[in-house]
Structure 1
Amino acid sequence: MKADASEAAAAVEEIVLTPIDLRKKLVQITLEKKKLTHVVAKVGIVLDITGSMQALYKNGTVQEVVERILAVASKFDDNGTLDVWVYDTHFSRLPSVTERDFVDYVQNKILNNHEIHKFGRNNEPPVMEDVIRKYTVEEDDGIPVFIIFINDGGVVKPIKKVITAASVQPIFWQFVGIGQSDFEVLKQLDTMEGRVVDNANFIHLDDIAAVSDEQLYDQLLNEFPSWLMAAKEKRIIRSS
């Protein structure tokens, strides 16, 4: 009887798990595989809102991306929140998102927000400078920062200077290219010289909606462990 009761309880648990709970379980598996379970980090996402992204905002893909990355923040982040920026020629720093308020976040906080400049051309350095300002001036506490930067093609070349200058900061930049662009500049990140540590990585996903959560989390967190090690050696972040 006890075994039957245990099995029934397990079945009930599986039934009531929400999508965010299921994704958190997958993130936990990835963290264990990459030996990151002890790491505390702040997590932020920068979302391209240029004209070519319009369909992805309106069909729910960007909302899904926010929810998928929120699962990472929920396991990783020091306070379980995901910091959010959007950018085209201008940028906006948006309210952070949590498990309590992620439903319809993109519709409510981005698409319905008429103060946000949207669907123009791309200009990455200003939003990157604001990310750096938040985590090194406003919140200068030495906690590692993991930034996921979503872009659907074409970044301005001056981002190289920003990334190089930021290599002394406790920020790792994980660029995610979506769509069919060639991503010429972003592909050069791993071979950029003049940095104290390699503080950026690029992955290309033709159709991010078609990539499983397991694959996404594995690729997103692929180079973060090596950056953590290098940043500790250079005393950019504190050793735990």
Structure 2
Amino acid sequence: AMRDIMMIYGGLRRPILVLFLTDGRLQSDWEIEEILIKTSRFPVFWQFIGLYGEEYGVLNHLDEIDGRHTRNAAFLKMEDFDDFMDSGFYRTIFTNTAAWLEELDRKQMLS
């Protein structure tokens, strides 16, 4: 799915926010790391949201991925679907996105 998103939106020079819901049980941590490293030079932010799951693997350690040009991903684990109604959920999403946009601006990646 991440590769498909990049095929469609990767060439745009406008910022793109991808909300990626998952229950965990990821197929391949190294593939996710590879995509995050490669896409860190594009204005695409991956906000992973874990819902009702376990075994989130690399998503629990996004800050430890070396080689990224920008901090282009964040992970938020939710215990309940009702958390979507919580203002803290949206505040976290907007805080993560705002920090990333500031980084893009500093690195002159926005056209």
Query: TM-score with structure 2 length normalisation?
Result: 0.88
Give the aligned CA root-mean-square deviation in angstroms.
1.5
Aligned residue pairs: how many? 109
1:1-240 alignment runs, 5 A limit: 127-137=1-11, 140=12, 142-155=13-26, 156-157=28-29, 158-238=31-111
Q: Is the 2:52–2:78 contact (alpha carbons within 8 Å) kept by the matching residues of 1?
A: yes
CA distance in 2 between counterparts of 1:135 and 1:235 reads 19
CA distance 1:135–1:210, shift in 2 (3 Å):
closer
1:232 deviates by: 1.5
Name the structure where strand makes up a greater proportion of residues: 2
Query: TM-score with structure 1 length normalisation?
Result: 0.43
Structure 1: give runs of 5+ residues left out of the alignment. Answer: 1-126
Q: Secondary structure at the match of 1:152?
A: strand
CA distance 1:144–1:208, shift in 2 (3 Å):
same
CA distance 1:171–1:210, shift in 2 (3 Å):
closer
CA distance 1:173–1:210, shift in 2 (3 Å):
closer
Structure of greater Rg = 1
Task: Name segments (4+ residues, structure 1) moved above 6 Å.
Answer: none
CA distance in 2 between counterparts of 1:175 and 1:204 reads 8
1:163 deviates by: 0.6
Structure 2: give runs of 5+ residues left out of the alignment. Answer: none
Higher RCO structure, 1 or 2 (CA under 8 Å, sep 6+): 2
1:146 deviates by: 0.7
1:210 deviates by: 4.2
Letter in 2 for 1:134: I
Taking only the aligned residue pairs, the percentage that are identical comes to 28
